Amino acid sequence: MEYQLKIKEKTYTVDLELDAEDQAYAMINDTSYELGVYRVSDHQIQMTVNGDQVNAWVEKQADGKTIIIEGQRYFIQDLAAQEMGNSSRGRESSQPQEPTTVTPPMPAIVIQVPVVVGDIVLKGDIVAIVSAMKMETSLKAPFDGKIAEIRVGEGDKVMPGDILVDIEKQPHTFIEEQRN
């Protein structure tokens, strides 16, 4: 069995020989490991790696797993599983499009939307101010353009991915004309 696991931008190839559900031999980049697995809880696994005990904490997420070992967090993605997922669910994550929308980086509450539909904004202009846990963050226009739609009002609760403001991309010449 072979796994292609991705941590940050690097891919790790793991060759796995499964002895039993709780016993395996693994090879990662020429290093071999004798692995014992004991599941303590849904989130905790105690591994025995070449004779040494290692406690690992695992959380499954939609696009990978967060692992905590010795206080360090690792976000790991299974490339094979991802490709399967991508073919059925589209390829949003692997082919990033240039953002055309303004979305908050965290669950937040809208404090202010200082623009109205039809406004011309330049890249970096503040188009929304949100607050999460009492901290304010300004959301800025990702490019020059014209405000096409404002989808939220002050006091609205918003999540990452929610589109707050639609900006219609405009060529620089158009912006120049409008501004003059």
Partner 1 sequence: MFKKILIANRGEIALRVIQTCKDMGIKTVAVFSEADKNARHRFEADQSVCIGPADPGLSYLNMDLIIKTAKKIRAQAIHPGYGFLSENHKFAEKCRDAGLVFIGPSPKVIQEMGDKLTARQIMIDAKVPVIPGLSGKEYTLTDMKKKAEEMGYPVLIKASAGGGGKGIRIVNAEEEMKEAMEAASREAINAFGDGRVYLEKFFTRARHIEFQILADQEGNTIHLLERECSIQRRHQKIIEETPSTAVDSVLRKKMGNTACAAAKAAGYTNAGTVEFLLDNHGSYYFLEMNTRLQVEHPITELVTGIDLVRQQILVAAGNPLTLSQEDVSARGHAIECRIYAEDPENNFFPSPGTITCYEEPSGPGIRNDSGVYAGCAVPVEYDPILSKLSVHAETRDQAIAKMIKALKSYIVLGVRAPMDFLGDVLDSRSFRKGEVFTDFIDTHFSLWTPLMPSKDLACLAFIADEINTRPVPAMERPGASNLNSPFHTLGNWRL
Instruction: Write out the two tokens for 83.
Output: 């490709």
Q: Which stretch binds partner 1 (CB under 8 A): 55-63, 91-99, 143-151, 168-176?
A: 55-63
Q: Are 76 and 130 within 8 A, CB to CB? A: no
Interacting residue with partner 1 among 51, 135, 153, 179 (CB under 8 A)? 135
Among 152, 3, 143, smallest CA distance to 78 is for 3
Give the CA radius of gyration of the chain: 23
**Contact call for residue 2 and partner 1 (CB under 8 A):** no
Rounded CA separation 29/46 (Å): 23
Q: Are 2 and 79 within 8 A, CB to CB? A: no
**Contact call for residue 108 and partner 1 (CB under 8 A):** yes
Interacting residue with partner 1 among 82, 85, 103, 132 (CB under 8 A)? 132
Size of the site for partner 1 (CB under 8 A): 62
**Contact call for residue 123 and partner 1 (CB under 8 A):** no
**Contact call for residue 33 and partner 1 (CB under 8 A):** yes
Rounded CA separation 67/127 (Å): 37
Tally: H helices and E strands in the chain:
2, 16
Rounded CA separation 1/17 (Å): 6
**Contact call for residue 12 and partner 1 (CB under 8 A):** yes
**Contact call for residue 16 and partner 1 (CB under 8 A):** yes
Among 91, 111, 98, 93, smallest CA distance to 164 is for 111
Interacting residue with partner 1 among 17, 63, 83, 136 (CB under 8 A)? 136
**Contact call for residue 174 and partner 1 (CB under 8 A):** no
Interacting residue with partner 1 among 83, 118, 157, 163 (CB under 8 A)? 157
- In angstroms, give the least distance from the CB of 122 to partner 1: 15
Residues 6+ apart with CB under 8 A from 120: 144, 145, 146, 147, 170, 175, 178, 179
Q: Which residues of this chain interact with partner 1, rule CB under 8 A?
A: 3, 5, 7-8, 10, 12, 14, 16, 18, 21-22, 24, 26, 28, 31, 33, 35, 37-45, 47, 49, 54, 56-60, 65-74, 76, 78, 105-109, 111-112, 129, 131-137, 157
